[in-house]
Amino acid sequence: MPRRERRAQLLAAALEVFVAQGYHSAAMDDIAERAGVSKPVLYQHFPGKLELYLAILDAACDAIIANCRKALESTHDNKQRVKAAIAAFYAYVGHDTGAFRLVFESDLTNEPAVRGHVDRVTTECADMIAAVIAEDTDLPAGASQLLGLSLVGMAQVSARYWLTESETAAAQLKRDDAIALVAGLAWRGIRGYPKVEEQADA
């Protein structure tokens, strides 16, 4: 098997094991067995469990950030942008790989490299949203950044709650209904900040 394909196979197997068992309980033996390779083959591609975990985490973080960017670029209607950004988090959390657990529910957040990856998702998504807010409202950078962070937090926390709290009334909502509900809350807040052209007309 070509090296790139083998690496992808190993990452897929490792993702399944890490999601099911968590970092601390997962063993390289388990990952090699899941991938159908010997442990020496696994070590040819990744020198250790942490390096393997970080490689998966990097791909997971890239996917969330790319989804957020795509959502913001999908329309120039800010109401729809808010909904699309929130939907991007719900879609990622709801993906059947369960990769979101490595980003938002990692049992290794005390490891600086892992913490850096996780923080990158929040920071980069918030930066993109803050840029839209600043451009549209002319709010100062600090205020725009705080609003961006708030929207990211609202999206990812509510999405995780909706998915994992299966016994609650909130989690029994259909995904589209949950997205519409949270997007409505976010938009009612963010639309209260006047657009630049409205300020100019005042």
Judgement on whether residues 81 and 159 belong to the same structural domain of the protein: yes
Q: Is 116 helix (H, G, I), strand (E, B) or coil?
A: helix
The CATH number given to whatever domain includes residue 182 is: 1.10.357.10
- Give the C-alpha separation, 169 to 162, whole Å: 9
| Whole-angstrom distance, CA of residue 201 vs CA of residue 187 | 23
Radius of gyration of the chain (CA): 20
User: Which of 61, 200, 72 minimizes the C-alpha distance to 148?
Assistant: 72
Q: How many domains in the chain? A: 2
* Average pLDDT score, the chain: 88
What integer pLDDT is reported at residue 1 of this predicted model?
74
- Is the CB of residue 115 less than 8 Å from the CB of residue 122? no
Which domain does 187 fall in, by range?
54-198
Q: Are residues 140 and 172 in the same domain?
A: yes
- DSSP secondary structure letters along 87-118: HHHHHHHTSTT-THHHHHS-TTTTSHHHHHHH
Q: Are residues 17 and 81 in the same domain?
A: no
Q: Is the pLDDT of residue 181 over 90?
A: yes
For 40-90, what is each residue's pLDDT tens digit?
Answer: 999 999 999 999 999 999 988 999 999 999 999 999 898 999 999 999 999
Closest C-alpha to 14, from 65, 62, 67, 50: 50
User: Mind listing the pLDDT tens digit for each residue in 93-107?
Assistant: 888 788 888 888 888
CA 184 to the chain's CA centroid: 21
The one-letter amino acid code at 155 reads A
Q: What residue has token string 């300020």?
A: 199
Instruction: Please determine, for residue 202, whether its predicted confidence score (pLDDT) is greater than 50.
Output: no
Is there a contact between 72 and 132 (Cβ–Cβ < 8 Å)? yes
Is 178 in the same domain as 85? yes
Burial class of residue 176 (count of CB atoms within 10 Å of its CB; 0-12, 13-18, 19+) = exposed
Distance CA 28, CA 16 (A): 12
> Do 76 and 43 sit in the same domain of this protein?
no
Asked whether the beta carbons of 10 and 55 are under 8 A apart, the reply is: no
Q: Are residue 4 and residue 74 in the same domain, yes or no? A: no
Q: Are residues 43 and 70 in the same domain?
A: no
Picking from 16-20, 165-169, 198-202, which range would have the lowest pLDDT averaged per residue?
198-202
Chain CA centroid to CA 70, Å: 13
Give the domain CATH number at 28.
Answer: 1.10.10.60
